[in-house]
Structure 1
Amino acid sequence: MQELELKVPEASTDFEEISRYKFIARIYHKGMEKSSCKIWRGGLGRDSGIAFAEDQFDINQDNSFNEQITVEDTGHALGLRMLMGPALGTQPRDLLLNQQEVAEALWLRFVQKLEQ
């Protein structure tokens, strides 16, 4: 987020650690909030993965999200799968991602509103 502030002088960011397993990040442009996200351990089932919620979320309610990342073992490979990735075109249905690829996909989703 610090690099974003260097690249976009009118942007400022905020990072708030809620717990060991949950944080909130925000991007402001010229003082106005442009994007926010909450990332936490959880999702459809208890401790079932990593959940991502954007913009309209309650800090204390973890039962709604826009994306969930789970670990999947195909018997031949171990990797990460984004629940909504195939539907949004960010991940082919049969492809598992690594940590870097998931981080990049979520980052792009988080900063895209800054470009609008």
Structure 2
Amino acid sequence: MHLIHDPAAEPAPEITFDDFLKVDIRAGTIVTAEAFPEARNPAYKLQVDLGPGIGIRKSIAQITQNHTLESLPGTRVMAVVNFPKRQIGPARSEVLLLGFADEAGHIVLSEPGQTVPNGARLA
């Protein structure tokens, strides 16, 4: 998946509201974080609690420049839960954590501004 890191980039093509509703974005909490040295690019292997309906899912995230392993457990995040699983080296990423690129193009995780239950869907 190619991510656009240019803040001056034009918006993506227009989609319908029904298209948007197909993307299932949920709130969760990172439970564990560990190094993932097998990845081609620096990454962490995370376990994310996405509530009782979804459970704990794995995510491989290239967020090493802006987040430390020690700071991640307990971090509230937003994740796309209905993309296909993706094999990354010897691990399988089950959800895509959402974030924004900083000025250097490194990802900063998106966090809900207030406390919501794990599994709450973006409305």
- TM value normalised by structure 2: 0.29
Highest relative contact order (Cα 8 Å, sep 6+), 1 or 2?
2
- TM value normalised by structure 1: 0.30
**Which is richer in helix?**
1
